[in-house]
Chains A and B, each alone.
Chain A
Amino acid sequence: MKNGFSVFLAALVALGLSWCGFVLGSVKQLGTAKQESILNSSDTYPLQPTGNATLGLQVYRANGCAACHTEQVRQDGVVCDVVLTAAGKNPTVVSNLVSTLKLTGLTKDEADAASDKITDAGGKVEIQINATGVDIPRWGVRRSVAADYLYDNPVQLGSLRAGPDLANVGARFPDLNWQLVHLYAPQTVATNSAMPPFRFLFEVSKIGEAPSPDALKFPQGFAVPSGCEVVPLPEAKQLAAYLLSLKADAPLYEAPFTPVMTKP
């Protein structure tokens, strides 16, 4: 072949460069990732998952959940809202300012400027930072970042959303019984759901001397044959533990936002 050596060299350089970019670069960038602090808190994120949750990831894989569910929340932008927390000594001046200034949907610079104006007039404000995007807030409160997948092996990113995104499902549906009922009979708790039931992860058995403590508690209108109960097999418990462990709701340095204060 004419110029064989040059072609070989060019191919080597091209493949070598892309290896450096895709493999070496990624390892250098994120290879040493570890737990990090939650913003303005001494807690760390993510927490090491429980044994059941780690096993549940394998059940998730085995049942092909990732074929219909993603675990990645997209964020298009970030906006700041200025919220008045105290009117101070000149409430009239401050309330006039508040009614004339634009206080929502600002960039950080605009929010700082508005905040300075109100602070100068004696009021106290807080700047709230909110993520925006079509996935927010229905599936997550912020975008997914590398830390969310720290303990996932393999990572279940998914590529198709026949069902909803699950990146934050543990925070959206924190009830274990809800998760189990949803796996056994999705349509009883999620109307019009397209999800097939995963009944083979459960066992329908006669109630013995006493009902099993694990037995599912169904909502009104779902009939279990009388004298019978639905008990989750270990796989169902593991899968539910994994789903509950999916909580991507902590504000992080790389994905900051102001958490909504939950009333105690």
Chain B
Amino acid sequence: MNDEAKSNCPVGTGDEPKATGSTVPMWLFALMLTLLFLGGVYFDHHSGWFSAQVYSPYVSAEQLELYQPKSGAAAAAAQGKKVYETVCGICHGVDGMGKPAMAPPLAGSEWAIAGGFHRLAQIPLRGLNGPFQVEGKDWNLNMAPMGAALSDADLAAVLTYIRTSWGNKASAVSADDVKAIRAEAAGHPAITGAQLKDMPE
């Protein structure tokens, strides 16, 4: 019976199924390209172009720059820091600690944190010729009138920065103050160490 059943079984109803190549439908291509395009647009608007500084909710470096808090005292402080680091920091150090044989420290310096800023403001306007003393140490150096070329606002910002940074806690200087002191200092030669001692604060 088994043999009979076997012989009656239909054998081979055709070839084995085979995987063959077929064309990818065009709509799938179109869909993928559209998604790619939309992804590109989204990326362009939100990525910040892989900048390490751009986090959400900001979407670009420009937008982040726009949102930096800059107004009033804060803006002046930022400007003072910038001017200090480009003009003064090369010799006095960005940390205000001075550099041996180049410039004395400004952090904690009695000349920087004096009650008045009249004498301090004259130094960058007229220049200073040593020898003089800072925090009990002798310095025999000359400083060119580095601040003469700065605008009143920039010089005021940098003086304020010097008087309020690195632990210094002295009063701020305004652009009008600098204007008055500049007019007074005009035509005067560089300050000598001996004159510095006798100048009023």
Contact = CB atoms under 8 A, between A and B. Distances in A.
Interface of A: 25, 29-30, 33, 37, 39-42, 75-78, 80, 85, 108-109, 115, 124-129, 143, 145-146, 251, 253-258
B57 A127 contact: no
A11 to B, nearest CB: 20
A78 B69 contact: no
Nearest to A257: B69
Contact of B69 (A129, A143, A146): A129
B8 interface: no
Contact of B71 (A25, A127, A251, A253): A127
B66 A108 contact: yes
Contacts of B55: 75, 143, 145, 254-255
Contacts of A125: 71
Nearest to A85: B72
Contacts of B57: 75-78
Interface residues on B, range: 20 to 34
B64 A129 contact: no
Given A108-B66, A126-B72, A128-B69, A30 B52 contact: yes
A221 B165 CA distance: 46
10 contacts: A30-B52, A41-B77, A42-B81, A42-B161, A80-B67, A108-B67, A109-B66, A126-B72, A251-B69, A253-B68
A100 to B, nearest CB: 21
B81 A253 contact: no
Contacts of A258: 69, 74
B77 A129 contact: no
B102 interface: no
Given A33-B52, A78-B57, A254-B53, A42 B66 contact: no
A41 B77 CA distance: 7
